Structure 1
Amino acid sequence: MNKMPPFKVFIIIWGVLLGYLTLNFISRANINFIQFNYDWEHIVLLNNFKGIKIDSVSNDYLSIQNDFQVPTTLNTNNTFLLKNKKDIYFRTSEILKDSNHIVFSGVKWINSIPNKKDKIGELKIINLPLIQPEGKLTMTIGDSQIIWRRGRDLRKNLAQKGSFYFVGNKLDVYGYPYVGGTFDKTTDLITKIKKARPAEYYILFFGAQDKNLDITKIKNDTCEILRLLQNKTETKMIYLITLPPSTNKNFISYNKEFNKNLIDCSKLYNKTKIIDFFDFLNDKSDYLAEDEVHLNEKGYLFLNKLLLKEIN
């Protein structure tokens, strides 16, 4: 009859397992828990409003009554602190203001969700710095493809799996910097690129907002964007993402033409690399949102996988 292993063996095995789980938890804490991504020791207060009346709260939405003078500092680059019996920090994708309400939509609650029953609170506008580990000095540039809906998660997901340090003049809902805007066309991107600080690596995903423009102008603007980035002395590589296939016949015709021009422009500059997302998705399905233009969660998972493979 076999003897049971000594009790000491079980203790050793348990100790090793506990140590591994602890180290794994610590190493992945900033991935699994959003609040670990911020530098809580260096919060800067920008503005403070007491007696805020809360209309509505949900998992990604906050509406408050607009009975105070709305400051110019109120924008999506800010982080917000709602004192609602406890301190609740959040960031937002969009802020809508009128004479009666201020609505925060696309909200990411950093540490907790407010109690819906608490209707009076205090709102503080703050700067809460994001902690980024050392990595490739990278700038994402684009339109709604990089910052709207599931595109908001692009930088966060890349940072989880790769070595990136993101730079730019605007902040996404998690606090990662980027350059661009939801409705930006190629001409808008040219203006913003001229003002942007340099990076070593650029990831460009744009073209969704240019459908009504002359295709020759789009091509000229695209080539100008690449020229501006190539001529920055710090530039090491410019990654260009082609627009995805669409189930809409009009959209897919435009996407093909845009992609052709993007590829043609890239051939003029030796520090460019095409990320052929269109070709990658050709044998796949169910990767588009209902608008047949933007990616859904599955689509961005595909893109994230492809970018990490090409860049790292």
Structure 2
Amino acid sequence: MRKAIKYILFLIFIFVISSGCNENSHQTNVEKDHYNINNIKPVFDLGNYTVKYKKNKIIFSKEHGNISSPVQYNNLKNEFNFNSIYRFKDSLQNAYFFRFGWVSFKENQSVLSNIEWIGKAPQEFEDFKKINFKIVDIDFIQFGTTSLCTIGDSQTWWSNAQNLRKYINDTNENLIFVGSNTDIFGYGHEGEGGNNSSELLNRIDNIPSADFYTLLLGTNDWKNNIETTFINITKITEHLTLLNPKAKILYLTPIPTTNKKRDLFNIDLSKKLIEKFKENKQIIVLDLRKKILDNENWEKDYLSHDGLHQNKDGVEFTAKSIGNKIIELNRN
């Protein structure tokens, strides 16, 4: 009987120790990227606006006209733009915080959409209410030792591509994302919608030093001279190698599109750049186009309805390709 009791006590002891070890091992992985919501700093009071909130859209009354900044990608702290955090405070003094990923202005009405709430979200309301908006600063804390800057056009930033860095981080948690712009999740980046290679060259001094860069660019040049585009992208990579001589640049071949003329331009551009980069040890070609086309149902599985931008599955596929490639490069 005593032996049985001792044996049971021994099993309980082992279970407690094992549970403790599992709990501790779990705790070593709980450091996820997050906002420090205990330290919210007011920056600028934008004032009161009459709005309604439904389907994750903030709809402004027509009396306000166009509320957004004429330059959406900026760090001005006194207007609605993509890079700030906003406090949303109702008449009951309930405060909520958000970023937005898109703004439209139609029939004299502004709408903020692709909203990501920091913490809790308000209940939807379909009747217009007076809401106070204030720009605030909330530190976004990232855990990792390797910095990554994602550079490009709307395919690295707009719509579903807001998820790009979040999905990359799901694959490789050791990354810190940097850039002069900020996505809805708080990650820095260098994507701007509609950019061609010349426009990116014009803002190249905004790009910070990083351990890794991804460059997904060129599809918006399809109506321009291919040789000029080739020279522009070459200049961009040369600038990045000077910015950090130890950095690795992942050149992503443009994703396939349903626009045949655009697609042919992308194919020819990729061929020229792959040939150019093959002797450069700092530049690694990640043939995203080929990886996508390996799926015979690529258009349905990876593209959105416009035939150009990726859907969420397509963005996740791209993100995993990038995250795994960086893991592979760091091992070598």
TM-score if structure 1 supplies the norm length? 0.84
Over the aligned positions, Cα root-mean-square deviation in angstroms equals 3.0
Asked whether the 8 Å contact 1:82–1:89 carries over to 2, the reply is yes
**Cα offset for 1:74?**
2.3
Q: Could you tell me how far apart the structure 2 residues matched to 1:116 and 1:257 are? A: 49
Which deviations, in whole Å up to 9, do the C-alpha atoms of 1:227-283 show, x marking residues without a partner? 111222444211111112334433432221121122133236331000011221222
Asked whether the 8 Å contact 1:133–1:165 carries over to 2, the reply is yes
1:48 aligns with 2:45: yes
Q: Could you tell me how far apart the structure 2 residues matched to 1:229 and 1:207 are? A: 17
**Cα offset for 1:72?**
4.3
Residue identity in the other structure for 2:287 = D
1:214 aligns with 2:211: no
Which deviations, in whole Å up to 9, do the C-alpha atoms of 1:51-75 show, x marking residues without a partner? 432233223x111335499684321
**Cα offset for 1:37?**
0.9
- The aligned residue for residue 80 of structure 1 is 86
Residue identity in the other structure for 1:257 = D
Please say which of residues 295-304 and 114-123 is displaced more in the overlay.
114-123
Asked whether the 8 Å contact 2:219–2:262 carries over to 1, the reply is no
**Cα offset for 1:127?**
1.7
Change over 3 Å in CA distance of 1:49–1:251 after alignment to 2: closer
Change over 3 Å in CA distance of 1:50–1:191 after alignment to 2: closer
SS in 1 for 2:219: coil
- The aligned residue for residue 33 of structure 1 is none
SS in 1 for 2:42: strand
1:189 aligns with 2:200: yes
**Cα offset for 1:26?**
8.1
Q: Could you tell me how far apart the structure 2 residues matched to 1:180 and 1:239 are? A: 15
Residue of 38, 58, 61 corresponding to 1:62: 58
Residue identity in the other structure for 1:210 = D
Q: Could you tell me how far apart the structure 2 residues matched to 1:26 and 1:199 are? A: 26
Asked whether the 8 Å contact 2:84–2:135 carries over to 1, the reply is yes
Q: Could you tell me how far apart the structure 2 residues matched to 1:226 and 1:302 are? A: 24
Q: Could you tell me how far apart the structure 2 residues matched to 1:191 and 1:235 are? A: 24
- The aligned residue for residue 296 of structure 1 is 311
**Cα offset for 1:22?**
8.4
Matches within 5 A, 1:119-268: 119-162=129-172, 163-267=174-278
Q: Could you tell me how far apart the structure 2 residues matched to 1:211 and 1:291 are? A: 16
Residue identity in the other structure for 2:121 = I
| Structure with the bigger percentage of strand | 2
Q: Could you tell me how far apart the structure 1 residues matched to 2:14 and 2:51 are? A: 54
Give unpaired runs (5+ residues) of structure 1.
31-35
Residue of 113, 126, 139 corresponding to 2:121: 113
**Cα offset for 1:7?**
8.6
TM-score if structure 2 supplies the norm length? 0.80
1:280 aligns with 2:283: no
Aligned residues: 304
Q: Could you tell me how far apart the structure 2 residues matched to 1:10 and 1:290 are? A: 58
Asked whether the 8 Å contact 1:52–1:120 carries over to 2, the reply is yes
Asked whether the 8 Å contact 1:55–1:64 carries over to 2, the reply is yes
Q: Could you tell me how far apart the structure 1 residues matched to 2:206 and 2:96 are? A: 34
Which deviations, in whole Å up to 9, do the C-alpha atoms of 1:66-86 show, x marking residues without a partner? 549968432111011111342
Give unpaired runs (5+ residues) of structure 2.
68-76, 328-332
Q: Could you tell me how far apart the structure 2 residues matched to 1:270 and 1:26 are? A: 35
Identity %: 23
Q: Could you tell me how far apart the structure 2 residues matched to 1:233 and 1:208 are? A: 26
- The aligned residue for residue 70 of structure 2 is none
Residue of 68, 93, 98 corresponding to 2:101: 93
Residue identity in the other structure for 1:216 = E
Asked whether the 8 Å contact 2:197–2:221 carries over to 1, the reply is yes
